[in-house]
Amino acid sequence: MTTQAVLEAIASWSSKAKLASLEMPTGWLGRPYDNLQQLTWSAATEDKVLVELDKRHMSITMGPAASGLSHRQPMDPKAPCHPHTLTPG
């Protein structure tokens, strides 16, 4: 999966969910289900995906292989999403 494909999947999902509690590989951003974030900006380069939440949290993922997304199926943009959670894969 390319970084652009990851970015498109994130943008598609967030346009449906609007707000989410974000679980990162190292744990939750804030208190689970209490802190809801909104995607405010995103970009992709050849080897990075940059995501800004609430104009104050920035996540930079270095390459799809580093994120663990390269070995998973792409997210289906038509799949229903839970309005309170966003987890990789």
User: Is it the case that residue 81 has pLDDT exceeding 60?
Assistant: no
DSSP 8-state assignment for residue 73: P
Q: In which element (H, E) is residue 23 found?
A: strand 21-24
What are the phi and psi torsion angles at 9 (to 5°)?
-65, -40
pLDDT for residue 84? 38
User: Is it the case that residue 83 has pLDDT exceeding 70?
Assistant: no
pLDDT tier, 65 (very low <50, low <70, confident <90, very high otherwise): low
pLDDT for residue 79? 44
Tell if the pTM clears 0.75, that is, is over it: no
User: Is it the case that residue 15 has pLDDT exceeding 80?
Assistant: yes
